[in-house]
Amino acid sequence: MEYVVYEQKGAVGIVTISREKALNALNSTVLEELNATFDAINLDEVRCVILTGAGQKSFVAGADIGEMSSLTKAEGEAFGKKGNDVFLKIENFPIPVICAINGFALGGGCEIAMSCDIRICSDNAVFGQPEVGLGITPGFGGTQRLARLVGPGMAKQMIYTARNIKADEAYRIGLVNAVYTQEELLPAAEKMAAGIAKNAPIAVRNCKKAINEGLALPMDKAVEVEEKLFGDCFETEDQKYGMAFFLDKNKEKVKEPFKNC
């Protein structure tokens, strides 16, 4: 891979977009490599993924403006599809994806972060949807995901004004869950990922599915999705072990890792 680095640390997979010279901007190759990297993650071993950018300046400074500038309509559609395929893959990835935003998250950078389950950032992070200043609309789901995350009023303000916001404001409006120093960011992401990875994997996957699918439905239908995924857990060994462990009054016992089955 030219621009994406993958590392597995125990049950945590770390995907790093590494195109520092262009502030990790998303060109076609980066999008293709991200797609292939997520496809290759070993879901029998990995229970949580971290997505981050290389360096200390930028997470992802957007889609590659140089590449986009000369696209024809057909090429623009093909480029858009490549991006949307990756973003949807991350959003619907069976296990949680934490985005560790270590600097600029602009345009497609903010959008890829929003397709992750959880966002945390460094104190130098900058977020924005500058597309209308370039003569386009946010095209990788920005108009949809930002409005769902921070509410339509704030999303419209950010998108119409194309004004960037800093980490503290992103935290205030709920775009990120926490802010760390650069040094603390990746360890914090790894700690959170390890905490997720030690919980019952099928239950965690079902929670992700229930939240994602339920958000698109009216409440009466959403709770039906939840009921089904709740019921499915009772066919797992993890549920039997987890509840038996709680009910066993022997204080000496040590909890075994969940088996993912």
Which residues are known to be catalytic?
A: 111, 131
Q: How far apart are the first and last CA of the chain?
A: 32
Cβ at position 246, least distance to ligand DAK in Å: 47
CA distances in angstroms from 50 to 34, 74, 186, listed in the order given:
13, 33, 9
Q: Find the part of the chain contacting ligand DAK (CB under 6 A) among 3-11, 93-101, 130-138, 203-211.
A: 130-138
Strand partners, 180: 122
Check residue 134 for interaction with ligand DAK (CB under 6 A): yes
Tell me 70's DSSP state. T
- CB-nearer residue toward ligand DAK: 110 or 150: 110
- Token pair, residue 238, equals 């993890």
Cβ 135 to ligand DAK shortest distance, Å: 10
- Within 156-185, the residues that bind ligand DAK by CB under 6 A are none
* Paired tokens of 16: 């790093």
Which member of 140, 171, 180, 258 binds ligand DAK (CB under 6 A)? Answer: 140
Phi and psi (nearest 5°) for 54? Answer: -80, 150
Q: If binding is defined by CB under 6 A, does position 64 make contact with ligand DAK?
A: yes
- The strand ranges marked E within 97-142 are 97-101, 104-106, 118-122, 126-128
Residues at the interface with ligand DAK (CB under 6 A): 22-23, 25, 61-66, 68, 76, 79-80, 83, 104, 106-108, 130-131, 134, 136, 139-140
